[in-house]
Chain A
Amino acid sequence: MIRRDFPIRQPIVSLVAAAVLLGSAPAFAGFTLAQGKETPLLLNRTPPMFATDRAVPNRDLHARAMARVEGKVLRVTLSWDDPTEDAVAGTKRAAYGSDSIYRKPTGRTDAFGDAAALMLPRKPGARNPGIMMGDRDREVRMVLWRAGSKVETLHARGRGTVEKTPDETGMTAEPSRAGIRRSVTFTVRDFDPAVPMAFAVWDGGTGDRNGYKWYTPWYRFAR
């Protein structure tokens, strides 16, 4: 049986969507992360991209987040159930025995790594950026952790516009695992409590990557 932290998850999103369509979108949709309090997250699933895609995975990740802000530093720990360890190979060169002169052969062609991201609007504003990577007028910045790879900082103005921001040094991510519970702690060193935050989780074991992901609405920090 699937346990739901939010039994009315879809109507909430629909109400927000309706409000946006009617031009009365609230800047604050009601999702909050209180200082130091572990909070169950509302997770939504992106729709299929292609008609030939597999059905959406029907499982609840029981994702939670706990945020702390000290001065201008945000530390928020995102955790979720992930029984499988899925990592991409990264760029390490393989060595067989004591030998490092040989090419690293590809071992997998259809495997994807677990990942998680924290997204923030670049600037505070009356309206939140679009939840799918921001929008043309409202840039978002992200810190992305991918199992087996380096942590990346990114920015975007809408779907398909994601670019790396290698010179953004104020955002990092640190993973950990306890049994099936996987956690990633994101740190933002120049956090403005006036901006909301959103999370995304990719379960590599089910083929998640790119737009195939779980994502939250915007959450606002409250002391």
Chain B
Amino acid sequence: MSKMQYAMVMDLNKCLGCQTCTVACKKLWTDRDGMGYMYWNNVETRPGAGYPAGWSEAGGGFRDGRVAPGEIPPIGKYGVPFEYDYSQRLFEGKGKPVMPHVDPTNGPNWGEDVGDTDRGETHFFYLPRICNHCTHPACLEACPRKAIYKREEDGIVLIDQERCRGYRQCVRACPYKKIYMNEVAGVSQKCIFCYPRLAKGTPNACAKQCPGRLRFVGMLGDPLSPVHQLVRVHKVALPLLPGKGTGPNVYYVPPFNPPRRGAYGKGILHDPRIPWKSLEALFGPRVKEVASRLAAELEIAQSGGKSDVLQLLIGRDDKVRYRIPAGKGATG
């Protein structure tokens, strides 16, 4: 376990699914050969298949204290990233329409924005996902090459590209399926939590570019960091699939659960539109407790009081949302 740990909190109530974070990450980190299908950051809808499709049912994590690698998702679960032969059209004068080089049958956000129906009412919310830089990374535990390491100074989990031999035990072991095999380079690759940016005091690209200002970044142990405040003080942020036993360090403020139609005057905890079991499946049994806390804060604000939690969640500027330690003197 690292002494210091970077963490990110994402407020799901503010995510509008614009994919700006996805594009920021893609352009910065995964724009090279063999990385076409890699989305170190993706935004999916829940309920939904996710990316890769069915990742939350593909196994991984720990079982009875031992790492339990699951499946390696086949390319069909991601969808073959298609390219276009522009040269036919642009340079060779063949006049043929520019078509994908394969017939697309799947891809990121394929068939999404559909959600689910509960007693005649539809619901869904957006779920942005990156590597969770877990406290107990199953990928690290499973790697037979010891190519994966967790940095002592900030808890970021990285793959040594020189040691990795592309065996993909990490892909199997990650319960979030956030490690990707680069077939061209012959190694596995993943989100690096933008550590080169953080070293310069600049927030992660996905966080910095987010128009919804829903991401908070800082050291989990730093009492002044927004992530510490949201996770440990106000206790309104929860990790994804906590039952997998990896101790994720990306946390989510669960969606305010609006009441069903016709439930006028009821609080957000009564007759919710998103079934509790759906939220509990993602964020664990504490999700109701967090929702109660958020509902209480909402009531304070709506009755003219000041809610510190909601004020923080507004995330007015960079100083509020990010606390990036500078150099070695960082607290964590």
Residue pair B182, A106 in contact (C-beta under 8 Å): yes
Residue in A93, A104, A110 whose Cβ sees the most chain B Cβ within 10 Å: A110
CA distance in complex: A53, B70 (Å): 8
**CB neighbours of A106 from chain B (8 A):** 34-38, 75, 80-81, 181-184
**CB neighbours of B35 from chain A (8 A):** 103, 106
Residue of B with least CB distance to A148: B186
Residue pair B36, A110 in contact (C-beta under 8 Å): no
Q: Does B87 contact A (CB under 8 A)?
A: yes
- What sequence of 0s and 1s flags, for each residue 53-84 of chain B, a beta carbon within 8 Å of any chain A beta carbon? 00000010001001111101111001011111
Residue pair A105, B144 in contact (C-beta under 8 Å): no
CA distance in complex: A105, B165 (Å): 19
Residue pair B184, A210 in contact (C-beta under 8 Å): no
Residue pair A96, B83 in contact (C-beta under 8 Å): yes
Q: Does B117 contact A (CB under 8 A)?
A: no
- Identify which of B73, B88, B168 contacts A97 (C-beta below 8 A): B88
Residue pair B73, A105 in contact (C-beta under 8 Å): no
Residue pair A105, B87 in contact (C-beta under 8 Å): no
Q: Does B142 contact A (CB under 8 A)?
A: yes
Q: Does B145 contact A (CB under 8 A)?
A: yes
**CB neighbours of A210 from chain B (8 A):** 144-145, 165, 167, 169
Residue pair A52, B68 in contact (C-beta under 8 Å): yes
Q: Does B86 contact A (CB under 8 A)?
A: yes
**CB neighbours of B180 from chain A (8 A):** 109
Residue pair B67, A91 in contact (C-beta under 8 Å): no
Residue pair B81, A105 in contact (C-beta under 8 Å): yes
Residue pair A93, B33 in contact (C-beta under 8 Å): yes
**CB neighbours of A93 from chain B (8 A):** 33, 184
Interface of A, secondary structure class, is: loop
Residue of A with least CB distance to B64: A51
Residue pair A109, B73 in contact (C-beta under 8 Å): yes
**CB neighbours of A98 from chain B (8 A):** 87, 91-92
Residue pair A105, B82 in contact (C-beta under 8 Å): yes
**CB neighbours of A32 from chain B (8 A):** none
Interface of B, secondary structure class, is: loop
- What sequence of 0s and 1s flags, for each residue 19-51 of chain A, a beta carbon within 8 Å of any chain B beta carbon? 000000000000000000000000000000111
Q: A99-B87, A103-B35, A105-B80 are in contact. Are A110 and B142 (CB under 8 A)?
A: no
- Identify which of A49, A91, A96, A209 contacts B185 (C-beta below 8 A): A91
- Number of A residues near B (Cβ < 8 Å) is 30
B183 → chain A closest CB, angstroms: 5
CA distance in complex: A104, B81 (Å): 9
CA distance in complex: A149, B183 (Å): 12
Q: Does B101 contact A (CB under 8 A)?
A: yes
Q: Does B318 contact A (CB under 8 A)?
A: no
Chain B 177-209 residues near chain A, CB threshold 8 A? 180-186
Q: Does A160 contact B (CB under 8 A)?
A: yes
**CB neighbours of A105 from chain B (8 A):** 34, 36-37, 80-83
- Identify which of A51, A53, A102, A110 contacts B74 (C-beta below 8 A): A110
CA distance in complex: A174, B158 (Å): 35
Residue of A with least CB distance to B145: A160
Residue pair A102, B83 in contact (C-beta under 8 Å): yes
Q: A99-B86, A109-B183, A210-B144 are in contact. Are A51 and B75 (CB under 8 A)?
A: no
Chain B 139-179 residues near chain A, CB threshold 8 A? 142, 144-146, 165-169, 171
Q: Does A107 contact B (CB under 8 A)?
A: yes
Q: A51-B66, A107-B80, A109-B74 are in contact. Are A99 and B186 (CB under 8 A)?
A: no
Residue pair A107, B144 in contact (C-beta under 8 Å): no
Residue pair B34, A104 in contact (C-beta under 8 Å): yes
27 contacts between A and B (CB under 8 A): A49-B144, A50-B69, A52-B68, A88-B186, A96-B101, A97-B87, A97-B88, A97-B92, A98-B87, A98-B92, A99-B86, A104-B33, A104-B36, A105-B34, A106-B36, A106-B37, A106-B38, A106-B81, A106-B181, A109-B73, A109-B74, A109-B78, A109-B171, A110-B74, A209-B166, A209-B168, A210-B169
Chain A residues in contact with chain B, CB under 8 A? 49-53, 88-91, 93, 96-99, 102-110, 149, 159-160, 162, 209-211
Can you list the 5 inter-chain pairs with the closest CB atoms, starting with the nearest? A105-B36, A99-B87, A110-B72, A210-B167, A105-B81
Chain B residues in contact with chain A, CB under 8 A? 31-38, 59, 63, 66-70, 72-75, 78, 80-88, 91-92, 101, 142, 144-146, 165-169, 171, 180-186
